[in-house]
Amino acid sequence: MTDTHTLATQFPEDFIFGVATSAYQIEGATKRDGRGPSIWDAFSNMPGRVYKRHNGDIACEHYDRWEQDLDLIQALGVDAYRFSIAWPRVIPNGVGAINEPGLDFYDRLVDGILERGLQVFPTLYHWDLPLNLAGYGGWTSRDTAYAFAEYARVVTQRLGDRFDTVTTFNEPWCACHLSHLFGVHAPGEKNLEATLHAVHTMNLAHGLAVQAIRSEQPDVPVGIVLNPTSIAAASDDTADKDAAERQFQFDNGVFFGPLFNGSYDQAFMDDLGSMMPIQSEDMAIIQQPLDFWGVNYYTPISVADHSDNNKVFPRAKLVRATDRKDRTDIGWEIGAFGLSQLLTQVYERYDLPPVYVTENGACYNTGLSDDGRVHDAERTQYLDEHLTEAAKIIASGIDLRGYFAWSLMDNFEWAEGYNMRFGLVHVDYDTQVRTIKDSGYWYAELAQAHRAWADGRDSTSTSIEPDNDFAR
| Mean pLDDT along residues 33-41 | 98
How long, in residues, is the chain? 472
Q: What is the pLDDT of residues 407-466, one digit of tens each?
A: 999 999 999 999 999 999 999 999 999 999 999 999 999 999 999 999 998 767 656 666
- The domain spans of the chain are 4-461
Spell out the residues 6+ positions from residue 397 whose beta carbon is closer than 8 angstroms to its own: none
Q: Is the pTM of this model over 0.75?
A: yes
Q: How many CB atoms lie within 10 A of CB 48?
A: 6
Q: How far apart are CA 466 and CA 128, in angstroms?
A: 36
Select from 424, 388, 418 the least CA-distant residue to 405: 424
Q: Do you find a cis peptide bond into 314, omega within 30 degrees of 0?
A: yes
Q: How far apart are CA 379 and CA 402, in angstroms?
A: 19
3-class secondary structure, 266:
helix
Q: What is the pLDDT of residues 50-90, one digit of tens each?
A: 999 999 999 999 999 999 999 999 999 999 999 999 999 99
Q: Is 82:23 a contact under the CB 8 Å cutoff?
A: no
Task: Report pLDDT for 321.
Answer: 67
Q: Which CATH superfamily, name and number, covers 4-461?
A: Glycosidases (3.20.20.80)
How much is the mean pLDDT over the chain?
A: 96
Q: Is 153:216 a contact under the CB 8 Å cutoff?
A: yes
Q: Is 42:409 a contact under the CB 8 Å cutoff?
A: no
Residues marked as catalytic: 171, 359
Q: What is the pLDDT of residues 117-128, one digit of tens each?
A: 999 999 999 999
